[in-house]
């Protein structure tokens, strides 16, 4: 069983879709041998009710409680490690993870990004694509490295931008694709048909 810790900062709708997808797969004839063993956040405002509803342990490691970023990262890493994950997913975790955390967890540390990397890295990818006047953007799943959205790409897909798109409508369409990419990635990792060490090397 692939043990997965997911880190979020906000509504966690992609995490909810992952939980639902794993439940649906479990009830089907094509179960995915993966389990979300904990949900963590950097803020009390994150939707940790997703874990409470399903009996999944949750935790918050907020940067404000630590003297500096490195100390916060060490506390976050210690908390993640309590759950012994085979995989950690940043799913709308809106902070750069300190290098010691990346070095300890990668390549089994993934991020979802609402653009077709290397286009539009950073925290405002959807807005940036609209402001650039692009007619398409995308969604990407990648291994986290020490850059800003520069890690090895696992999977990505193009999404058209329509003239009447707002940041909200476009982001919602991107998330639909992100959810599929994320579930597929977890399915492949659980089945052993995707090797993160090979992709990262
Ligand atoms: C997702 O689109 C994710 O790719 C993005 O935040 C959203 C989270 O949505 N992450 C980033 O932009 C990281 N740079 P959710 O909280 O509804 O799942």
> According to the model, what pLDDT value does residue 123 have?
95
Residue 78 lies in a domain: yes
> What are the φ/ψ torsions at residue 140 (nearest 5 degrees)?
-140, 140
The per-residue pLDDT for range 151-194, each reduced to its tens digit, is: 999 999 999 999 999 999 999 999 999 999 999 999 999 999 99
> According to the model, what pLDDT value does residue 66 have?
98
**What is the whole-number distance in angstroms between the Cα of residue 29 and the centre of ligand 1?**
30
Task: State the total domains in the chain.
Answer: 1
Residue 200 lies in a domain: no
Q: Which residues line ligand 1 (CB under 6 A)?
A: 8, 10-15, 91-92, 94, 112-114, 123, 125, 175, 178
**What is the whole-number distance in angstroms between the Cα of residue 22 and the centre of ligand 1?**
19
Residue 9 lies in a domain: yes
Residue 89 lies in a domain: yes
> According to the model, what pLDDT value does residue 108 have?
98
Domain membership of residue 57 as a residue range: 2-195
Looking from the CA of 62 toward its CB, the CA atoms found within 13 Å total 7
> Would you list the DSSP string of the chain?
-EEEEEEESS--HHHHHHHHHHHHHHTSSS---EEEEEEEESSTTS-THHHHHHT--EEE--GGGSSSHHHHHHHHHHHHHHT--SEEEESS--SPPPHHHHHHHTTSEEEEESS-TTSS-STTHHHHHHHTT-SEEEEEEEE--SSSS-SPEEEEEEEEPPTT--HHHHHHHHHHHHHHHHHHHHHHHHHT---HHHHH-
Residue 12 lies in a domain: yes
Q: What is the mean pLDDT of residues 86-115?
A: 97
Residue 167 lies in a domain: yes
In whole angstroms, what is the distance from residue 66 CA to residue 75 CA? Answer: 9
Provide long-range contacts, Cβ within 8 A and 24+ apart, for 195-200: 196/107, 196/108, 196/143, 196/154, 197/107, 199/107, 199/143, 199/152, 199/154, 200/106, 200/107, 200/143, 200/151, 200/152
Q: What is the mean pLDDT of residues 89-112?
A: 97
In whole angstroms, what is the distance from residue 174 CA to residue 170 CA? Answer: 6
Residue among 8, 50, 113 to mutate when testing ligand 1 (max atoms within 8 A of CB): 113
Q: Is 188 a known active-site residue?
A: no
Order of strands across the sheet that contains 2-8: 58-60, 34-41, 2-8, 87-90, 109-113, 136-143, 153-160
The confidence band for 83, taking pLDDT boundaries of 50, 70 and 90, is very high
Say what the pTM is: 0.97
For 107, which DSSP code?
Answer: T
For 63, which DSSP code?
Answer: G
The domain that holds 182 is classified in CATH as: 3.40.50.170
> According to the model, what pLDDT value does residue 78 have?
98
Round to the nearest angstrom and report the end-to-end CA distance of the chain: 25
Residue 201 lies in a domain: no
**What is the whole-number distance in angstroms between the Cα of residue 83 and the centre of ligand 1?**
23
Residue 191 lies in a domain: yes
């Amino acid at each position: 069983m692939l043990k997965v810790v997911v880190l979020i900062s906000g509504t966690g709708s992609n995490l909810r879709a992952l939980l639902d997808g794993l439940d649906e797969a479990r009830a089907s004839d094509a179960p995915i041998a993966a389990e979300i063993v904990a949900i963590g956040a950097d803020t009390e405002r994150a939707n940790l009710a997703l874990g409470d509803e399903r009996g999944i342990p949750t935790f918050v490691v907020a940067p404000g409680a630590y003297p500096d970023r490195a100390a916060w990262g060490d506390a976050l890493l210690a908390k993640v490690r309590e759950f012994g994950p085979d995989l950690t997913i940043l799913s709308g975790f809106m902070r750069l993870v300190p290098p010691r955390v990346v070095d300890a967890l990668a390549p089994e540390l993934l991020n979802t990004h609402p653009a077709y990397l290397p286009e539009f890295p950073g925290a405002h990818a959807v807005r940036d694509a609209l402001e650039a006047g692009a007619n398409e953007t995308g969604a990407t799943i990648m291994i986290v490295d020490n850059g800003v959205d520069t890690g090895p790409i696992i999977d990505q897909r193009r999404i058209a931008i329509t003239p009447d798109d707002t940041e909200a409508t476009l982001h919602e369409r991107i998330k639909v694709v992100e959810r599929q990419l994320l579930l597929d990635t977890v399915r492949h990792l659980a089945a052993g048909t995707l090797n993160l060490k090979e992709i990262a090397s």
